[in-house]
């Protein structure tokens, strides 16, 4: 079993910044990718950014130039630095990890519990 623990959400004014963190722990052999998704009320969950095991990053168009994803492989942790936040960024942000578990020959997809980000004056 693998657990993802998120932190860093909160309330900020438009133009402000937040830094989200997500640490994976448990029965981890390796992590293929870690990323962030978000879901606003009444909308589907959507990709924000992902950091793959090959060191590549991908961003949704609506956050390019404002958000930066990073990864600390030694700590099994990913970060999302969010700058120039807009009210439309308001959503629950979820951490995601694609994990190869120890002693198992399967790759599993795990999700954190989500952290609320609210951008409002």
pLDDT of 54 reads 85
Q: Average pLDDT for residues 5-30, to the nearest whole number?
A: 97
Q: How far apart, in whole angstroms, are the C-alpha atoms of residue 106 and residue 99?
A: 9
Query: Which pLDDT tens digit goes with each residue over 42-99?
Result: 999 999 999 988 889 999 999 989 999 999 989 999 999 999 999 999 999 999 999 9
**Residue 105 scores a pLDDT above 90:** no
Closest by alpha carbon to 39, among 113, 98, 99? Answer: 113
Q: How far is CA 90 from CA 51, 82, 85, in A?
A: 22, 12, 9
């Amino acid at each position: 079993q693998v657990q993802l623990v998120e932190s860093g959400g909160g309330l900020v004014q438009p133009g402000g910044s937040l830094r989200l963190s997500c640490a994976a722990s448990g029965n981890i052999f390796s992590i293929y990718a870690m990323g962030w998704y978000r879901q606003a009320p009444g909308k589907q969950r959507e990709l924000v950014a992902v950091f793959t095991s090959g060191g590549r990053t991908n961003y949704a168009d609506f956050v390019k130039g404002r958000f930066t994803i990073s990864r600390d492989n030694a700590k099994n942790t990913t970060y999302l630095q969010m700058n120039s936040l807009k009210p439309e960024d308001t959503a629950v942000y979820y951490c995601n990890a694609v994990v190869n578990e120890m002693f198992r020959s399967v790759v599993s997809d795990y999700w954190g519990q989500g952290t609320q980000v609210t951008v409002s004056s």
